[in-house]
Chains A and B, each alone.
Chain A
């Protein structure tokens, strides 16, 4: 016996109902829907909190398994888990504010920033290796990058007084046109993806991944 509503249809039905509950009150005043919409938005905040806990649990389990199986790099997993437990305890325990401030603000925050700072240094090599002018498009790319960089740096302004005006023109007209079209395209894509999800045509986001096995 086939069922009309099964495991695949229920998530799609939930998506459709909730999307409409959010969209309709924005255009038509329906007091009951307004209240429902606001209440549902508030109820999602603790669910997002659970998602954070899930993330932490995943990290813990994966690294615990790495240690138990003695996989490559397992001593570093001990470091990770020890730091995880330390910050979990220090953040939740009242009275440990000084230790918490020292550990997070004075130590962890700086190291986190240093790892992100590596990107800046690698961008220098990226610019050195990637900005090769071999066509009209790469010429435009490189020139616009150079002009904006010269104008952004005070030393560039000192050498070429007109640099900020040229940069402002590039940013306000050709750059703005390109970025606007990009933003409109992204917005249209998100709307189209949303409608496809509501129609049940996009199921990957809902975790419904079909694995097709080729018959030999």
Chain B
């Protein structure tokens, strides 16, 4: 068998293997067990330790292009937060569609099911353009920057906003980020400046560069993409879509590993051929 030809498989076969690896477990679930990491436990404990009546600011810093990764995470956090006696303020600095994602999450989780009321226990302040300037301005004086919520209601009519004046009043900031600079924004403008505690989760792509902040204690743990959400759902005993998706993740990862191994067998074939032929690589 010509091992070298293993390096030249048509990409479309790999695409097909990938798509089948995603589709098959959705139709026929496997149900493999998951081990919960210390990092996920840190995030869970950070949420558990919010004092009664505390204020949590949840920032959905992602758009529809990352919905599959972070929407289940947002819903898992909301379910956990609504079980506690805390006030949840949602505000986004990433993209104009983030408040819509929060609306969808609210419909999916259901405020009323937890005995919560909009304006009293939860508020959606919508999107604020300006990135770092908006985050800094929000931290300095919330009421001077934000006049209405996402639906146009004046914040003076929302009892929840009486508790939140500056970033000092935030008991925990939960950042759900699709961009690397977003957790750093809150660390710079809220944590370093006002001492606000920060945790949350991110897309897989930016998780590894955030580990130094977890190690230094600046981030109280951070959930990595779907795996982190699945562990969090298990820990909070509220399984949802993330756990269901982990079976597909297993098969897809298998496809990647097999592809890498096959490619390297091909490389080995090239090397052996060149040695036998006496030609230089």
Q: Is A128 within 8 A of B263, CB to CB?
A: yes
Q: Is A149 within 8 A of B212, CB to CB?
A: no
**Chain A residues, CB < 8 A from B32:** 154-155, 157-158
Q: What string of 1s and 0s marks CB contacts (under 8 Å) between B119-148 and chain A?
A: 000000000111101101100110011000
Q: Is B255 within 8 A of A105, CB to CB?
A: no
Q: Given B30, B100, B134, B259, which contacts A124 in the complex, CB threshold below 8 Å?
A: B259
A159 CA to B258 CA, complexed, in Å: 15
Q: Is B14 within 8 A of A128, CB to CB?
A: yes
Tell whether A102 is near chain B: CB-to-CB under 8 Å.
no
Q: Given B7, B18, B246, which contacts A154 in the complex, CB threshold below 8 Å?
A: B246
A131 CA to B17 CA, complexed, in Å: 18
Tell whether A71 is near chain B: CB-to-CB under 8 Å.
no
**Is chain A's binding surface mostly helix, strand, loop or mixed?**
helix
A134 CA to B63 CA, complexed, in Å: 39
Shortest C-beta distance, A157 to chain B (Å), equals 6
> In B168-192, which residues have CB < 8 Å from any A CB?
none
Shortest C-beta distance, B268 to chain A (Å), equals 9
A124 CA to B252 CA, complexed, in Å: 9
Q: Is A155 within 8 A of B267, CB to CB?
A: no
Q: With A128-B260, A149-B257 as given contacts, are A121 and B140 in contact (CB-CB < 8 Å)?
A: no
Q: With A155-B250, A175-B208 as given contacts, are A41 and B140 in contact (CB-CB < 8 Å)?
A: yes
Q: Is B253 within 8 A of A51, CB to CB?
A: no
Q: What string of 1s and 0s marks CB contacts (under 8 Å) between A178-210 and chain B?
A: 011011000000000000000000000000000
Tell whether A112 is near chain B: CB-to-CB under 8 Å.
yes
**Chain A residues, CB < 8 A from B7:** 129, 132
Interface footprint category on A: 35 or more
Q: Is B65 within 8 A of A113, CB to CB?
A: yes
**Chain A residues, CB < 8 A from B253:** 149-150, 152-153, 155-156
Q: With A44-B133, A108-B64 as given contacts, are A127 and B96 in contact (CB-CB < 8 Å)?
A: no
Q: What string of 1s and 0s marks CB contacts (under 8 Å) between A141-152 and chain B?
A: 010011001101
Q: Is B131 within 8 A of A124, CB to CB?
A: no
**Chain A residues, CB < 8 A from B252:** 153
A131 CA to B131 CA, complexed, in Å: 36
Shortest C-beta distance, A175 to chain B (Å), equals 6
Q: Is A183 within 8 A of B67, CB to CB?
A: no
Interface footprint category on B: 35 or more
Q: Given B34, B133, B249, B259, which contacts A127 in the complex, CB threshold below 8 Å?
A: B259
Q: With A49-B129, A179-B208 as given contacts, are A153 and B249 in contact (CB-CB < 8 Å)?
A: yes
Q: With A45-B145, A49-B129 as given contacts, are A154 and B137 in contact (CB-CB < 8 Å)?
A: no
Q: With A142-B260, A154-B33, A155-B250 as given contacts, are A112 and B131 in contact (CB-CB < 8 Å)?
A: no
Tell whether B97 is near chain A: CB-to-CB under 8 Å.
yes
Q: Is B144 within 8 A of A38, CB to CB?
A: yes
**Chain B residues, CB < 8 A from A117:** 68
Q: With A41-B140, A128-B259, A149-B253 as given contacts, are A154 and B215 in contact (CB-CB < 8 Å)?
A: no
> In A123-140, which residues have CB < 8 Å from any B CB?
123-125, 127-129, 131-134
A41 CA to B138 CA, complexed, in Å: 9
Q: Is A132 within 8 A of B208, CB to CB?
A: no
Tell whether A104 is near chain B: CB-to-CB under 8 Å.
yes
Q: Is B256 within 8 A of A121, CB to CB?
A: no
Q: Is A176 within 8 A of B34, CB to CB?
A: no
Q: With A125-B11, A164-B35 as given contacts, are A45 and B263 in contact (CB-CB < 8 Å)?
A: no
> In B225-281, which residues have CB < 8 Å from any A CB?
227, 246-247, 249-257, 259-260, 262-264, 267
Q: Is A121 within 8 A of B15, CB to CB?
A: yes
Tell whether A10 is near chain B: CB-to-CB under 8 Å.
no
Tell whether B23 is near chain A: CB-to-CB under 8 Å.
no
Tell whether A59 is near chain B: CB-to-CB under 8 Å.
no
Tell whether A216 is near chain B: CB-to-CB under 8 Å.
no
A41 CA to B96 CA, complexed, in Å: 19
Q: Is B100 within 8 A of A42, CB to CB?
A: no
Q: Which A residues contact B (CB, under 8 angstroms)? A: 26, 38, 41-42, 44-45, 47-49, 51-52, 104-105, 108-110, 112-113, 115-117, 120-121, 123-125, 127-129, 131-134, 142, 145-146, 149-150, 152-158, 164, 168, 171-172, 175-176, 179-180, 182-183
Of the A-B pairs whose beta carbons lie under 8 Å apart in the complex, a sample of 6, sorted by A's number, is: A112-B63, A123-B256, A154-B32, A154-B246, A171-B211, A180-B212
Q: Which B residues contact A (CB, under 8 angstroms)? A: 7, 9, 11, 14-15, 17-19, 30, 32-35, 37-38, 63-68, 96-97, 100, 104, 128-131, 133-134, 136-137, 140-141, 144-145, 193, 208-209, 211-212, 215, 227, 246-247, 249-257, 259-260, 262-264, 267
The list of the 5 closest CB pairs from A to B, nearest first, reads: A48-B129, A109-B64, A154-B32, A153-B253, A155-B250
